[in-house]
Amino acid sequence: MRFAWVIFAVLILQACSTPELSKQAAAVEVVTQMDRKDCMNLGPVFGKGGGSFGGSMISDQKLMEYASNDLRNNAAAKGANVVVAHPHQMAQTGGSHGGSTSTSTVTGIAYKCP
């Protein structure tokens, strides 16, 4: 029975995604609009923080940070050094005693600029 609880705890922790910023992603600049004409559009990117299990135990600020980290990691994986990010979307889970924020997502467009 104890082994089942350990497996359950590991699954819960994996379901609540809290990505760290990679070394390459640390160099990705986040902007809200692209004014430059010399950048190549690498396509859409997506970032998520939290999850259906455990996300409600993390502050909204941290959920947004984790989503931004994931966005920048995904942009860096495409070879981008700039990402135009759209506003975060927050999702809630419901319950018999009310709901709580459990997930933050953010979308954007990745660019490679000289």
SS3 annotation, the chain: CHHHHHHHHHHHHHHCECCCCCCCHHHCEEECCCCCCCCEEEEEEEEEEECCCCHHHCCHHHHHHHHHHHHHHHHHHCCCCEEEECCCEEEEECCECECEEEEEEEEEEEEECC
Look at residue 21 and tell me whether its pLDDT is greater than 70: yes
* Model pLDDT for residues 56-106, shown as the tens digit of each residue: 567 778 888 999 999 999 999 999 999 999 988 877 665 555 555 578 899
Q: Looking at the structure, give the CATH architecture of the domain made up of residues 2-112.
A: 2-Layer Sandwich (3.30)
pLDDT more than 70, % of the chain: 68
